[in-house]
Amino acid sequence: MSKFLAFPKEFIWGCSASAYQVEGAWNEDGKGPSIWDTFVHMPDHVINGESGDVAVDHYHRYKEDVALMKELGLVAYRFSIAWTRVVPAGTGAVNQAGLDFYDRLVDELLKHKIEPYACLFHWDLPQALQDQGGWPNRDTAYAFAEYARVVTERLSDRVKVWMTHNEPWVAAMAGYFAGEHAPGIKDISAAFRALHHLLLSHGLASEAIRAGAKQPVKVGITLNLNPVHPVSQSKKDRDAASRMDVILNRATLDPLLKGTTPIHEFAIGKLLSGSLIKPGDLEKIRTLDLLGVNYYARTVVKHDPKFPVVAASQIHPEGNEYSGMWEIYPEGIYELLKRIWKDYQPKCDIMITENGVPVPDGLDFDGRVRDERRIRYLRNHIAQVHRAMEEGVLVKGYFHWSLMDNFEWALGYGQRFGLVYVDFKTQKRTIKDSGHWYARVIQENGFEY
Ligand code: FCB
């Protein structure tokens, strides 16, 4: 029998996006180059040689896009600010024209009663800072805090919720260890150093935002988190899963919520931690008013000595549906929320800041996009969020990834995550069936399940 899953009155329904993935205008109005601009303009980094040079042209079409958000009834919109628009060389001169864009965007959102959630870093580090070592260089953390101060000065009279980083783990590991993301470096010790400095910069920027804010604000961070399951119950596989859990989840959760670090559990971490983590760093990092959780999939692993650091590798189990990028596993979002609640007893707010699915979809003969699989995904995942809430986890909001189809990093434009379909040639936007479904959920503050 179906049941209406009702959400609390003040529940925040939103969508998330990021600067590089939607804005385009990569070199306009004084913007400096970021590591993503450099990365995509080199061969073999992105499928089909695609880039975010134009993306979905949100820089010029933001009014139309905010109107779409309004049509969906969004309560909030989480976007990121491109550091290189504001401080083109990473440090030094401020580019007022870049700040003006975010000023206009925030005003447009507020005009439509949509709460802006501003994220300061979604992976697009100024190239000038990468040239001086990037995140593995501790100075970058201080440069980030200064950039945070500049943005706070301009926007904090209107922006009340601030996220310092989006998925620092991915920025460090995909960028400096796997080399699949900008800046394309493959060096494990650089990746560990990058991760620590990203976290440190969260602490430093939080301080700067709170000190400069023109009204009471909330400052948080968004993490990619995955429940890790062993492929079998053998001791070897279970140990492999717990090592993978340290690197995937505890490496960010422990410092942020407990003020401790588990990195010395790995030989490389032990080697680095003495010189890397300075006295006082962990105290600075442990500061959060809001924890954003991004959930896409679980990680199933087996013991695998060939794989560096964790001696574990990922396997793709049979039995569930898969999307263009991952296994579809709705219970994982419930498991994750329960685990955070139990292991960390967070005092801060918790929200889902990303959740979504890339499944093939497109315009049907009549111009409609019937993306039934995305609707199913959304129903099943949001129902699991509701289940965690019924069992006592205080979840304040849910942000879907993403409002519109956009540039999916190294995978280019092939993976469509939007509630709104974008024809990348004409930039025409069409609300998909999933978008209409989400709009109804927001309006009714729940759904029949
Ligand atoms: C997350 C990123 C976001 C998007 C989704 C699919 O890891 O934060 O930019 O690429 O994955």
- Reading the chain (449 residues) residue by residue, the pLDDT tens digits are 899 999 999 999 999 999 999 999 999 999 999 999 999 999 999 999 999 999 999 999 999 999 999 999 999 999 999 999 999 999 999 999 999 999 999 999 999 999 999 999 999 999 999 999 999 999 999 999 999 999 999 999 999 999 999 999 999 999 999 999 999 999 999 999 999 999 999 999 999 999 999 999 999 999 999 999 999 999 999 999 999 999 999 999 999 999 999 999 988 888 888 899 999 999 999 999 999 999 999 999 999 999 989 999 999 999 999 999 999 999 999 999 999 999 999 999 999 999 999 999 999 999 999 999 999 999 999 999 999 999 999 999 999 999 999 999 999 999 999 999 999 999 999 999 999 999 999 999 999 99
Q: Model-level pTM greater than 0.95?
A: yes
Cα–Cα distance, 329 to 331 (Å, whole number): 6
Instruction: Report yes or no: 247 and 309 within 8 Å, Cβ to Cβ.
Output: yes
Residue with CA closest to ligand 1 atom 10? 408
* 295 Cα: distance to centroid of ligand 1 (angstroms): 10
CA of 336 to the centre of ligand 1 (A): 18
- Which ligand 1 atom is nearest residue 325's CA? 6
Looking at residue 118, its amino acid is A
**Which atom of ligand 1 is closest in space to residue 408's alpha carbon?**
10
Pocket test for ligand 1, best of 78, 121, 226, 294 (most atoms within 8 A of CB): 294
Which residues fall within 8 angstroms of residue 447, CB to CB, at 6 or more apart? 4, 5, 379, 382, 440, 441
For residue 416, give Cα distances in angstroms to 324, 329, 410: 9, 19, 13
Which residues, 6 or more positions from 351, have their beta carbon under 8 angstroms from its beta carbon?
A: 12, 290, 291, 292, 293, 395, 396, 397, 398, 399
Task: Give the pair of three-digit tokens for residue 9.
Answer: 């009155």
From atom 9 of ligand 1, which residue's Cα is the shortest distance away?
Answer: 18
CA 153 to each of CA 50, 69, 157, 201, 377: distance values in angstroms, whole numbers, following the listed order: 35, 26, 8, 18, 40
Q: What is the pLDDT of residue 249?
A: 98
Whether 167 is catalytic is yes
In this prediction, residue 133 carries a pLDDT of 98
Active-site residue (options: 50, 327, 354, 408): 354
CA pair distance 402, 108, nearest whole angstrom: 19
Nearest ligand 1 atom to alpha carbon 224: 7
Q: Answer for the pair 220, 161: CB distance below 8 angstroms, yes or no.
A: yes
Q: What share of the chain is helix, strand, coil (3-state, %, to 5)?
A: 45, 20, 40
Q: How far, in Å, from the CA of 280 to the mean position of ligand 1?
A: 31
Contact 357, 380 (CB under 8 A): no
Question: Cα separations (Å) of 169 from 69, 223, 288?
Answer: 29, 7, 17
- 4 DSSP β-pair partners: 448
20 alpha carbon to ligand 1 midpoint, in Å? 11
Please give the C-alpha separations between residue 29 and each of 55, 84, 99, 203, 396, in angstroms, as whole numbers.
17, 11, 10, 30, 37
Residues with CB under 6 A from ligand 1: 18, 21, 166-167, 170, 224, 294, 354, 401, 408-409, 417
* 170 CA distance to ligand 1 middle (Å): 9
Please give the number of the atom of ligand 1 that sits closest to the Cα of 417: 6
Place of tokens 């929200």: 351
Question: Would you state the structure tokens that stand for residue 439, as one six-digit string?
Answer: 């709009």
Q: Could you give the 3-state DSSP secondary structure of residue 256?
A: helix
Ligand 1 centre and the CA of 236: distance in Å? Answer: 31
Residue of 167, 327, 335, 408 marked active site: 167
Q: Cβ(200)–Cβ(285) under 8 Å?
A: yes
Query: Looking at residue 270, what is its pLDDT?
Result: 86
Atom of ligand 1 nearest to the CA of 166: 8
Paired sense of beta strands 218-224 and 228-230, if any: unpaired
